[in-house]
Amino acid sequence: MTSPTLHINQLVCGYKNPVVRAEDFRFEPGTCTGIFGDNGSGKSTFLRTLAGLQPPLSGSILLDKKGLDELSHKERARKISFLTSQSPSPHGLTGRQVAAMGRLAHTGTWARPRKTDRDHIDKALELTSTLSLAEKRMSEMSDGERKRVMLAQCLAQDSQIILLDEPFAFLDARAKNAIHRLLVDIAIEQRKTIILSTHEIGISPPLLHYCLLIDRGKLHHSDAAGVVRHFA
């Protein structure tokens, strides 16, 4: 089985007015790509469009030559997971319950987990060091702990493409490093396609395979030096 490549072509993202244009980009399995840009430059809009949560104004998004808009909700969720930048707080749910939602696209009407589902949940909790939070309620967690649980949910989804909007927000320096290295490892070892947006121009560019920069409404190829120069 060949892993799908994410291919975008002449994409224009935005709500009513175009915010970001991206001409021709391919995201291959086994790579971790960072999207950089000023506040309000459209990083979230771009990722939401790739995640299929917002229709593009024009252009195409192909998943292994199949249009993203041709997939059902569930099919899409099995192929693409998305960590939003918001920190939700469903107070009465435990860490495990939240992480387990990553399997909803894989289970039937009654959401009965099979063994593979439980294995994915356990593994996601372990990778994100949230096993100790499994029985803790979201209301009792810190912002950083909640973020890690949401990341566990994202990984439990076991999708080929993983999109993360500001995954390092709320994390302390050590957790930032650990999570970043984890994401790169996952991309390489599990042949996933990871795309993340971040403001961490210090720690992030050296770890990433590719750096893209949104500048004046356009997505460009860049590199660590280019990103630093942009923000200088």
- In the complex, least distance from residue 91 CB atom to other proteins, rounded to whole angstroms: 5
β-partners of residue 219 are 214
CB 127 within 8 A of CB 154: no
Determine the Cα–Cα distance for residues 195 and 6; give it in Å rounded to an integer.
10
DSSP assigned state of 94? B
DSSP assigned state of 137? B
- Written as six digits, the tokens of 63 are 């998943």
Q: Which stretch binds other proteins (CB under 8 A): 5-13, 61-69, 84-92, 219-227?
A: 84-92
Q: Which stretch binds other proteins (CB under 8 A): 13-21, 72-80, 186-194, 206-214?
A: 72-80
Sheet holding 218-222, edge to edge: 66-67, 58-63, 6-14, 18-27, 218-222, 210-215, 31-37, 193-197, 161-165, 80-83
- Choice from 5, 107, 129, 177 touching other proteins (CB under 8 A): 107
Determine the Cα–Cα distance for residues 158 and 212; give it in Å rounded to an integer.
25
Q: Which stretch binds other proteins (CB under 8 A): 2-10, 23-31, 83-91, 204-212?
A: 83-91
Amino acid present at 57: L
- Choice from 6, 22, 35, 51 touching other proteins (CB under 8 A): 51
- How many CA atoms lie less than 13 Å away from 111 in the CB half-sphere? 7
Number of residues that bind other proteins (CB under 8 A): 33
The nearer residue to other proteins, 112 or 216, going by C-beta atoms, is: 112
Q: Does 121 bind other proteins (CB under 8 A)?
A: no
- How many CA atoms lie less than 13 Å away from 220 in the CB half-sphere? 14
- In the complex, least distance from residue 137 CB atom to other proteins, rounded to whole angstroms: 8
Determine the Cα–Cα distance for residues 149 and 203; give it in Å rounded to an integer.
22
Q: Does 120 bind other proteins (CB under 8 A)?
A: no
- In the complex, least distance from residue 116 CB atom to other proteins, rounded to whole angstroms: 17
188 φ/ψ angles, rounded to the nearest 5 degrees: -75, -50
- Choice from 55, 69, 111, 116 touching other proteins (CB under 8 A): 111
- Choice from 27, 36, 82, 168 touching other proteins (CB under 8 A): 82
**Contact footprint for other proteins (CB under 8 A):** 48, 51, 53, 73-74, 76-78, 80-82, 84, 86, 88, 90-94, 97-98, 101-102, 104-105, 107, 109-111, 139, 150, 153, 157
